[in-house]
Each structure stands twice: as structure tokens, then as C-alpha cells.
Amino acid sequence: MAAARSATAGLALLLCALGLLSPMATSSAAAARRAHAPHRERRRMHSHRAPSVVASMARWRLPNGLSRAGAAPLPNGRVLLLGGLLGSGASSADVGVLHTATGKLTSIATLPSPTHDAGSAELDGRAFLFGGGQSVPFALVQGVTIPRSPGPRTAVSATVTGQLPQLRADDEAVTVGRAAYVVGGYDGSIGDAAVLETANGSTFASFVTLPVAVRYPAVAAAHGVIYVFGGEAEQGGTTNEFSTPAGSTTPPPGQQVAVVQEINTRTHTARVVGSLPHALQGAAAFDLGGHVYLAGGDSYPPGSAPVSGSTIWSFDPSTVSFRVAGHLAAPVSYAAVAVEHRVVWLIGGERDGVPVPSAQMVRVRARR
């Protein structure tokens, strides 16, 4: 590779010396290569087809139905669960350690304020909940110290660490490098298209603006790029119109969309890159073994009852295409997602709008 680059550079210098190639032309060529670098990077991200996956239902159940909670993976098959919506319809303030081998759930802290539908992400040894709400959205940011060796007497602190710039619920959050990004959501009346960046869970900067403002999207990051799948369209984005296979569309607020948006954390850009197989919201997106997958979610026309799906799609960023990679053991949406090594846990969630106490494990299907 290095020898080839040296040879190319030497040829360019020779051509310049002979007057056959101007320095301006070489600069233009270099600029063109830099402009296309993100596209080449996406092609390198997935040079081979994503493997199929298999899902299995846990043999245990949570004490109660729980959906829209935050989660963070812990060592030795444990998961930290934060807040969420209980089957009773109330928001939870519980912070618990779930042992995925047995289903035992141990409470280790209490959030300053009960919440659900808050974006969650990890930063510097803490798990954060960004916004969320109860009956109305709020701007509160809550942080919990992640216990690295949780035991029967583990207790950690849960504190208010800051405030978002405005009310925000139904958002998602993801960590890229040393920063977390808050994506999507709304303030109770209009969508919040501003993608926020934070390095400490206390101070926030507007990073970029989504073309299509959405709440309840699925969000995953891979190789410095954040992918935003579907959601419910709201007013507030940089454009209300985007292209689909059937042509341009301008969905009214409150309608599910099949849009795929890309946030490049290196170039500070956000754009629409494609479409889902169908509109959905509340799905689970995750990076498993270097590949991005999208699982479950609700699909339904405006005004009708939610219908949860079970399809697991693999997403190829190089072609912005989807392939059926497997199916969940049961349809689910709004599940808490925790990824540890090559295992993904979908904990709780909703089936057709009703919180469930079940959990599923997703892993790469073994080759025969």
C-alpha cells in the first residue's frame, strides 16, 4: 500500500515537471478523493454479508411488565436497568441489576425522578438518562455510577447531573468515542431535531440538525457514524420532505416514517440516506460483531392499534439496504437493549402496546 502511494506520488511529480499535469490538477484530485472518503469508508465497514442471527426467550420473567427503560451491560452476564414504564402505567424510579442467567433483579439505587422514554448511554463509568418524562416530558438528566462488580449488597449513587436545553422525551442516545449523542424526541408539541453532544452528562452542545425530526427512532452507531431508523415524524427538522422508493413524501406530524438518517460524527453532517422496508417506531437497533441490526418495533397506520413485529433486519450501510437476518422469539417494541460481546439482550418491552415481563437473547447463528 505504501509503495503504491509512493509510486503514484512520484508519477504525479514527474508529470508536473514535464508540464503534463498542473499542481492545481493534483490538488483538485486530492480534494475529490477527500470528498469521497466517507463513501469509501462506508464500503469498507461491511466488506462481507452480515451473518444471520437467532433469538431465544429467557426462561425467566421480570417481576412485572416493563418497557421503555434504559439499560447498560455489566460484567458476568448482568445488565443494569434504569427507570421505565411499568405495567400499571406508572414511571419507575428503580435502578436494578438483572442477572440474565437466573432473572434475579436486585434494586441498588433510586432515581431522583421516575422516568420512561429517556435516551440512555454510558460515559466515563456512568449510565445516563437524558430527559424522558412521566405524564409530560422534562429536561432532567440523571446519572448512575455503573457497578463493575455488583454483589448482593451493592449500592450506588443516582443523581441529577444537569438539564437538557429544553424539554425532551421519546429520544434515544448513543456513545461514540468519548461523547454521547442525544437523538430525536419531542417537547410535548413539536419534534426536537437538534442532535446534542455531551462529554460529561452535564453540559450539552448542539451538534447537527436532523433533516427529519422524529420521536421513537431506533439508533445505533458503527465506525463513527450514527444511524437513525424510522420513528414518528414531527415538525422541526431541516426538511419536511424526503425521498422514498415511491417518490418524495411529506408525512404529517404523528405519522410513522420509513426514513433512514445518517449522522457522521467526523464531518458534523446529517442527511437522509435511504428507506426502511416499511415504516416503524420503537424498534431496537444494535451493533453486533461489527454489523448493524434492527429488530422488532411497531408498525400501524395513524389512529389504529399498535402491532409489534418480530423481524430482525441486517443493515448494509454501503448500499443502504436491508436483509432479513432472523426473527425474534416473540414480537416486541420499546425493549431495553444491552449488548455485551456477541450477545444482545432485549429486556421487557411492549407487545401490541402492552408492557411485557419477558426477555430475549439475540446472538449470531452458529455456522454449520
Tens of pLDDT, residue by residue over 328-353, are: 999 999 999 999 888 999 999 999 99
Confidence of residue 162 (pLDDT cuts 50, 70, 90): very high
25-43 residues labelled b (16+ CB within 10 A) or e (exposed):
eeeeeeeeeeeeebeebbe
CA separation for the pair 366, 102 (Å, rounded): 24
Average pLDDT for 253-282: 94
Please, are residues 280 and 312 in contact by the beta-carbon 8 Å criterion?
no
The CATH number fitting domain 50-364, selected from 3.20.20.70, 3.40.50.300, 2.120.10.80, 1.10.10.60: 2.120.10.80
What does the domain layout of the chain look like in residue ranges? 2-35, 50-364
Tens of pLDDT, residue by residue over 19-77, are: 444 433 444 444 444 444 444 444 444 447 899 999 999 999 999 999 999 999 998 89
Tens of pLDDT, residue by residue over 191-216, are: 999 999 999 999 999 999 999 999 99
Q: What share of the chain is helix, strand, coil (3-state, %, to 5)?
A: 10, 45, 45
Please, are residues 265 and 181 in contact by the beta-carbon 8 Å criterion?
yes
pLDDT: is 105 or 154 the higher one? 105
Residue 4: the pLDDT is 41
Lookup: cell for 198? 455531551
Distances (CA, A) of 211 to 119, 167, 195, 241, 262: 20, 20, 11, 9, 10
Residue 58: the pLDDT is 97
Residue 302: the pLDDT is 77
